[in-house]
Amino acid sequence: MVQVYFLCTGNACRSQMAEGFAKQILGDHCQIASAGIECHGLDPRAVQVMAERGIDISNQYSKRIDINYLRSSDLIVTLCGDARDRCPVVPNAIKKEHWPLKDPAQAVGNNQVKLAAFRHVRDQIESRISDLAIRLRN
């Protein structure tokens, strides 16, 4: 079983959405977790836009990187430059990918503008997880 770890700065939205999609798309083929360099709490907009796709992440919670899980992972995916740059050193045998996605929590404007930013990032993550599923099955 492939172990995948999704990391971002605060484990509030991008990595949480990636965890949700990965659990749905990759299913029993992988062990999935997400974490952050810091804990910023689960963003309610991430929960809302994932629910629009039929994925409930409301029971997920913000957590910091678990060094043991990190070092036993087969693939580490960073979803922002901060996580990539501040991620603890891992053995070279662990595959690393960087998906540079804008932080939707930084969107400025009314609620509709902010939700649009979350939906855009959600859709990018869904596409990348789908591509990852194809690669992992080959």
Would you please indicate which residues are annotated as catalytic (active-site) residues? 8, 80, 87
What's the CA gap between 59 and 29, in Å, rounded?
A: 22
Classify residue 64 by its DSSP letter: B
Distance from CA of residue 138 to its chain's centroid? 22
Q: Which of 82, 130, 85, 75 is nearest to 103 (CA)?
A: 82
96, β-bridge pairs: 76
What's the CA gap between 115 and 92, in Å, rounded?
A: 38
Token pair of 16 as six digits: 């949480």
